[in-house]
Structure 1
Amino acid sequence: MKIPAFLALIVALAAAAPTKAQSEAASKPISADLFGIFFEDLNYAADGGLYAELVQNRSFEYAPSDHDGWHPLTSWDYLHEGFAMGSVSVESAAPLHATNPHYVQLRIENPFQKGLGLRNHGFDGIPLTAGATYDFSLWARVKSGAAMPLLVQLQDAQGKVLAEATLSAQAAGWQQYRATLTPTATAAAGSLVVLATGKGILDLDMVSLFPQRTFRGRTNGLRADLAQAIADLKPRFMRFPGGCLAHGDGLDNLYDWKKTIGPVEQRTAQRNIWGYHQTTGLGYFEYFQFCEDIGAKPIPIVAAGVSCQNSGGSWKIGGIGQQCVPLADMAAYTQDVLDLIEYANGPATSTWGAKRAAAGHPAPFGLQYIGIGNEDKQTPEFRERFKLLYEAVRAKYPAVTVIGTVGPSPKGEDYDQGWAFASQLHVPVVDEHYYENPKWFLANQQRYDAYDRSKSKVYLGEYASWGNELYNALAEAVYMTTLERNGDVVQLASYAPLLAKEGHIQWKPDLIYFNNATVVPSVNYYVQQLFGQNQGSTYHAGVVRLPTGAPADTAAAASCVRDAQTGDVILKLINLGPQPKPFAVDLTRFKGLKTAATQTTFTGPRNAQNTFDSPRTVLPKVASYKATKRFTYTAAPFSLTVLRVRGTR
């Protein structure tokens, strides 16, 4: 008997529509913290970068061990205006603080009205904006003579005075003096001048110039535009203060969080493993505060009782290799790690919680994760020290999730041994790293599908596809859909490195490039931003049917997640090929969806880049879109499209 056409249509639709059981089987909860950021003081990311201080070498602590040819007066010029007579020297006999041992002494024999002093050139010049306000401060001590008048100026590159203030140093002991300066003109590469215009001997230290406009108006804060670019990624977490930076270049260079808190003049500066200097003005309090300001969970990384295995350039002849904290000292080192957690989470009445409160944050920061180690060589000495630290944290702070480490590569000896060790200890999360070419990311889309869900979860702490062309970014986007698909085992993921300053780039590719005046987000940045701004709570398989030939067609990928807070369904469609590709979408399983949707497209030529000369070559474009229960979306060549279909909770 022939079935009427309308009945046949009903039967066909019923067969096509997924049952409730099928829909539930095709969906799963995924990590609420999946996409975040990793900050390391590499490529001048901190001093001269995110940290808003404009004076370079403000406390005269630069040394040849920081960088070849550096010394305590690097970035400073000695000025003796007109016929002024005197001398300048760097002293250490009676410093401002024992942790800040060097200061400058000016001996002014005859100022001849114009004065004698110093000029600072900042980091590639001091950028000044007409009408903006800048906070100047220094610490001074009058060693001999009467009160010492000081003339403070902001000058442009030709020496024209754009702002000035006068101060009077009077105390025989160290005292801080302040002034506010407002330039009358803009200068891309200005300088700060401090002149003593009286007769006598004067000591100076911690000479500082800060824009009043910092991110969120924070004192000792961050560069506003650069911090905002990071905030716009909507990261769920931030890993800091670095990877290699954390375990340092030898034991004497381990990153000690306790030396980075408190008054900035009492913090300990030290050489940077990447070959320059860190003032630690951007220290642990500022890291935690920034995480809170941008809504990112903090993930501090501490050394696992060993230094970087590449210490002293051990890949070369003569390197010192991995050094280990002596076992006799591990109890004290372990206590430092426990104290860090108390600093973050302890009440204001606790020893370290009180220090956080004294810095202006009585409430705990709510630390949930801590990383122990970074890409460490899986030696018996490393394992012994990691186990001590891991067990101590787990015993005292069971609610804090420890993240272990499995080496610098997606495979190999350290990877295999690291995973075996993590499984033996039941470490909850391990940190994988890999930098590979785009082909690797496309060929490894099933990497996490086969991971044992009963073992440690994964933090993909560092990854990038060796390039800042659109093709690289889209290859990363393809891979990020697999991270969403495996968001039950991949708990966290962050591109690396985050920042790079023009003229000081030590590692490429990077996510955000900048100079003193401009912030240039790479094309990779916009992929990270689109995923970061469109994170979901559950992953839904089978919603999008890939173009013919997929999944063998590795140049196409898609994912579907739903945001539990808004009810929105979010589709990410990637076409890495040179021709348009259709994606068939079936939303019939979802209840409460509206037809209103937002379409964000990110597309351009395969080799397109955002550069300082052309910073807006490729940008996301947003438009409205009308979604139906079933539809086909044709994706442009070399594109990432995000369709956000409005829903209800």
Structure 2
Amino acid sequence: MATTVFAQSGNSEKDKSTTTKTISPDLFGVFFEDLSYAADGGLYAELVQNRSFEYSASDKKDWNSLTAWEYITQGYSYGTLSIESAHPVHPNNPHYLLLNIEDSGQEGLGISNSGYDGITVKAGEQYNFSVYLQQLSPNPIPVTVQLRDKKGTVYGAATFITESGGWKKYNNVLTVNQTADSLKLFVLAKKPGKLAIDEVSLFPQNTFKGEANGLRADLAQAIADLQPKFMRFPGGCLVHGDGLGNMYRWKNTIGPVEQRIQQRNIWNYHQSIGLGFYEYFRFCEDIGAKPLPVVAAGVSCQNSGGTWRIGGIGQKGLPLTDMQGYIQDVLDLIEYANGPVNSKWGAQRAAAGHPKPFNLQYVGIGNEDKQTDDFRLRFKMIYDVVKAKHPEITVVGTVGPSPSGDDYDQGWKFANLLNIPIVDEHFYERPEWFLSNNARYDTYNRKKSEVYIGEYASQGNDLINALTEAAFMTSIERNGDVVRMASYAPLLANSKHTSWNPNLIYFNNSKWVPTVNYYVQQLFSVNQGDSYIRNVVTFNGITDSTLAASCVKDSRTGDIIIKIVNAGTTATSSKIDLKALNIQSKKAKLNILKGNPNDKNTLNEPLKLVPIVSDFDTKTLNNYTVPAYSLSVIRIKGR
């Protein structure tokens, strides 16, 4: 597509009329992928790491079944410890720990877990502890559970006694009276005997919306506060995996957590799969976002085996003899989300606690795949069946990892051939790219595929990065008739384990920080409209790619929302056509985000940049001064 300088009227120079056009109601959403410990150790609220002893050297070279665990012998206790697999809780969860307590001493013998960089707790909150135990000796064994710091101070404790008769799940509640981090969870046997141990869990009761097996409340709320219209999950490169054996299979992620199949993460750590498709669907429902699950297109990631480092192609296709079964998995996913309770997979959804369908509308097939014959053949096989059996589902295709180049061109050619409803474009580019490509979608063919901008970011978290993204987002609104959806990526990153930068939200065990990019995304997403009004904002004849504006109307409220971006060095005067807007109300709110171009928000410092909200008189719209390095969002009350 041709690149042109943005016309500051908010549309192409060919169209000088002030008119309204309908734009997508699903324009701004979020994209979640489990990289940078976004799930385990992040959004998923589980506090125990490697809770079922399934880590291995295939995850990381120095990992094993006892990673994050420590064998505890204290007070003259002694015995042995081993990892076994002969009689697991479930075959999908093959490893467990065998503890032989020869002498429990005065304080007990057992294990401790360090969590993800320590366990953080809050005063006054309660934590649900659970564990699967099998008493392998004749007599009951008292067990003590404790949260301790490095000095041995106990922050919460519970006790129970084991029973014979196979694997049993034990549940306790630990009440914490002090806030602390860097704690460890101790599980200690207080009498001699043999115990098999598996699925050790510690969960805050205060999860998002109180969901069982739920999400960390503050991180989930941070996403909810974006008011996303959709959420794409679970990836990303995670979906098609590092080789065919690492491909993400949604059926492995549902049902009781102890029966789910864990696996290595393409980002070189481990997926407990505690956050699975049921939890993703529930989260979407909880925050009012349409679910957009993505499945692999029958091929692995072209970067499998780290081939991106050497420029090779690691993409492999599933054997064609396996494709019928794989396509059935995709159909079963749709049934799981939307099927009645008397259908096979709808019944499994109901058994999990949700008889009502999830109202799935979108399914993504593939993720920025290399455009090869292997990919095209398998994509078409999946697409043709889904289209025929589920015409109510909108399929989202893919056109490669970049906004231009051979994969992009071949991807669009293929999309046009199949008449794919929506294609997924990705771009991680420098800030200048976003300014110079503001008119990118002005010339897209409205009769062909719509666009989902599934992943984009301007390679930084400074204010200037966020403002260039904001300038580009005005063009997304302007072209909301052909751009169906857009989502910044990546969404979440644990500050101690970042696989990729930049990210929208950085966090540690106790807090998170809204980047400036987060505030830009929020200002657009909470101020979405469903119609775009052309030619409302002008800059007194100035044509400069650092200036951009858009105007939308929310038909539900009647509100008119004007967004004005100045990514330049000097303040600029703008004029807003009040007559064209037919504004009756004088009541408006101004949200303004401004500062120095290299300012950013970080976890370890007070926030430098936050939007400032004030009342606004619409009379001043006749000559509104747009500050340098700023985003202004003016919301005018409709009724």
| TM norm. shorter chain > 0.5 | yes
Partner amino acid, structure 1, of 2:592? T
Q: For this pair of structures, how many residues does the alignment match?
A: 625
Partner amino acid, structure 2, of 1:523? V
Are the counterparts in 1 of residues 451 and 485 from structure 2 also a CA contact under 8 Å? yes
Deviations 1:265-297 (A, max 9, x none): 100110000000000000000000000100100
Q: Please give the alpha-carbon distance, in whole angstroms, between the structure 2 residues aligned to 1:576 and 1:530.
A: 16
Aligned partner (choices 23, 41, 53) of residue 30 of structure 1: 23
Are the counterparts in 2 of residues 238 and 299 from structure 1 also a CA contact under 8 Å? yes
* Deviation of the 1:157 alpha carbon: 2.7
Query: Is 1:383 matched with 2:376?
Result: yes
Query: Is 1:580 matched with 2:568?
Result: no
Match of 2:626 in 1: 635
Q: Please give the alpha-carbon distance, in whole angstroms, between the structure 1 residues aligned to 2:336 and 2:232.
A: 17
- More off after superposition, 410-419 vs 181-190: 181-190
User: What SS does structure 2 have at the residue aligned with 1:139?
Assistant: strand
Change (3 A) 1:317 1:602: closer
Match of 1:176 in 2: 169
Partner amino acid, structure 2, of 1:569? I
Q: Please give the alpha-carbon distance, in whole angstroms, between the structure 1 residues aligned to 2:255 and 2:394.
A: 27
Following superposition of structure 1 onto structure 2, how do residues 406-485 of structure 1 map, counting pairs within 5 Å?
Answer: 406-485=399-478
Q: Please give the alpha-carbon distance, in whole angstroms, between the structure 1 residues aligned to 2:421 and 2:441.
A: 16
Following superposition of structure 1 onto structure 2, how do residues 115-130 of structure 1 map, counting pairs within 5 Å?
Answer: 115-130=108-123
Q: Please give the alpha-carbon distance, in whole angstroms, between the structure 2 residues aligned to 1:505 and 1:92.
A: 33
Query: Is 1:603 matched with 2:594?
Result: yes
Aligned partner (choices 242, 254, 269) of residue 249 of structure 1: 242
Q: Please give the alpha-carbon distance, in whole angstroms, between the structure 2 residues aligned to 1:453 and 1:489.
A: 6
Deviations 1:559-600 (A, max 9, x none): 000001000000001111121111100121334631100000
Q: Please give the alpha-carbon distance, in whole angstroms, between the structure 1 residues aligned to 2:392 and 2:126.
A: 44
Deviations 1:427-479 (A, max 9, x none): 00000001000001101111100111111000000000000000000000000
Q: Please give the alpha-carbon distance, in whole angstroms, between the structure 2 residues aligned to 1:234 and 1:68.
A: 40
Query: Is 1:235 matched with 2:232?
Result: no
Are the counterparts in 2 of residues 119 and 193 from structure 1 also a CA contact under 8 Å? yes
Are the counterparts in 1 of residues 18 and 580 from structure 2 also a CA contact under 8 Å? no
Deviations 1:365-384 (A, max 9, x none): 00000000001111111111
Q: Please give the alpha-carbon distance, in whole angstroms, between the structure 2 residues aligned to 1:164 and 1:101.
A: 29
Aligned partner (choices 181, 184, 200) of residue 188 of structure 1: 181
Match of 2:551 in 1: 560
Match of 1:543 in 2: 536
Deviations 1:115-145 (A, max 9, x none): 1100100000000112210000000001113
Deviations 1:147-184 (A, max 9, x none): 11100001123221111111111123000001100122
Are the counterparts in 2 of residues 546 and 557 from structure 1 also a CA contact under 8 Å? no
Are the counterparts in 2 of residues 468 and 523 from structure 1 also a CA contact under 8 Å? yes
Following superposition of structure 1 onto structure 2, how do residues 190-269 of structure 1 map, counting pairs within 5 Å?
Answer: 190-269=183-262
Query: Is 1:279 matched with 2:279?
Result: no
Deviations 1:177-231 (A, max 9, x none): 0110012222111110000111111000000000000000000000000000000
Query: Is 1:56 matched with 2:68?
Result: no
Runs of 4 or more above 4 Å deviation: 22-25, 316-320
Match of 1:493 in 2: 486
Match of 1:367 in 2: 360
User: What SS does structure 1 have at the residue aligned with 2:57?
Assistant: coil
* Deviation of the 1:615 alpha carbon: 4.3
How high is the sequence identity, in percent, across the aligned residues? 58
Change (3 A) 1:493 1:317: closer
Structure 1: gaps of 5 or more residues:
1-21
* Deviation of the 1:518 alpha carbon: 1.0
Are the counterparts in 1 of residues 17 and 534 from structure 2 also a CA contact under 8 Å? no
* Deviation of the 1:612 alpha carbon: 1.4
User: What SS does structure 2 have at the residue aligned with 1:207?
Assistant: strand
Partner amino acid, structure 2, of 1:87? T
Are the counterparts in 2 of residues 312 and 319 from structure 1 also a CA contact under 8 Å? no
* Deviation of the 1:23 alpha carbon: 10
Larger RCO, structures 1/2 (Cα 8 Å, 6+ apart): 2
* Deviation of the 1:630 alpha carbon: 5.6
* Deviation of the 1:315 alpha carbon: 3.0
Measured on the aligned residues, the alpha-carbon RMSD in Å equals 1.3
Deviations 1:489-529 (A, max 9, x none): 00000000000101101100000000001110110000000
Query: Is 1:39 matched with 2:26?
Result: no
Change (3 A) 1:424 1:336: same
* Deviation of the 1:25 alpha carbon: 6.0
User: What SS does structure 2 have at the residue aligned with 1:312?
Assistant: helix
Are the counterparts in 1 of residues 18 and 536 from structure 2 also a CA contact under 8 Å? no
Q: Please give the alpha-carbon distance, in whole angstroms, between the structure 1 residues aligned to 2:117 and 2:431.
A: 34
User: What SS does structure 1 have at the residue aligned with 2:527?
Assistant: coil
Partner amino acid, structure 2, of 1:192? L
User: What SS does structure 2 have at the residue aligned with 1:35?
Assistant: coil
* Deviation of the 1:316 alpha carbon: 4.5
Match of 2:526 in 1: 533
Are the counterparts in 2 of residues 250 and 320 from structure 1 also a CA contact under 8 Å? no
Q: Please give the alpha-carbon distance, in whole angstroms, between the structure 1 residues aligned to 2:310 and 2:565.
A: 46
TM-score w.r.t. structure 1 length?
0.95
Partner amino acid, structure 1, of 2:551? C
- More off after superposition, 312-321 vs 89-98: 312-321
Aligned partner (choices 72, 79, 85) of residue 78 of structure 2: 85
Following superposition of structure 1 onto structure 2, how do residues 316-355 of structure 1 map, counting pairs within 5 Å?
Answer: 316=309, 321-355=314-348
Partner amino acid, structure 2, of 1:575? N
Are the counterparts in 2 of residues 157 and 187 from structure 1 also a CA contact under 8 Å? no
Are the counterparts in 2 of residues 587 and 629 from structure 1 also a CA contact under 8 Å? no
Deviations 1:228-258 (A, max 9, x none): 0000011000000011000000010010000
Deviations 1:57-80 (A, max 9, x none): 000000010012000000001001
Are the counterparts in 1 of residues 140 and 163 from structure 2 also a CA contact under 8 Å? yes
Q: Please give the alpha-carbon distance, in whole angstroms, between the structure 1 residues aligned to 2:92 and 2:16.
A: 62
Q: Please give the alpha-carbon distance, in whole angstroms, between the structure 1 residues aligned to 2:17 and 2:96.
A: 67
Q: Please give the alpha-carbon distance, in whole angstroms, between the structure 2 residues aligned to 1:471 and 1:320.
A: 35
Partner amino acid, structure 2, of 1:61? E
Match of 1:13 in 2: none
Q: Please give the alpha-carbon distance, in whole angstroms, between the structure 2 residues aligned to 1:377 and 1:615.
A: 43
User: What SS does structure 1 have at the residue aligned with 2:245?
Assistant: helix
- More off after superposition, 153-162 vs 208-217: 153-162
Partner amino acid, structure 1, of 2:424? D
Q: Please give the alpha-carbon distance, in whole angstroms, between the structure 1 residues aligned to 2:177 and 2:210.
A: 22
Deviations 1:304-354 (A, max 9, x none): 000001111123469771111111110000000000000001111111001
Partner amino acid, structure 2, of 1:508? N
User: What SS does structure 1 have at the residue aligned with 2:545?
Assistant: coil
Match of 1:3 in 2: none
- Bigger-Rg structure (1/2): 1
Q: Please give the alpha-carbon distance, in whole angstroms, between the structure 1 residues aligned to 2:27 and 2:172.
A: 45
Q: Please give the alpha-carbon distance, in whole angstroms, between the structure 2 residues aligned to 1:41 and 1:220.
A: 17
Aligned partner (choices 113, 133, 150) of residue 126 of structure 2: 133
Q: Please give the alpha-carbon distance, in whole angstroms, between the structure 2 residues aligned to 1:587 and 1:103.
A: 69
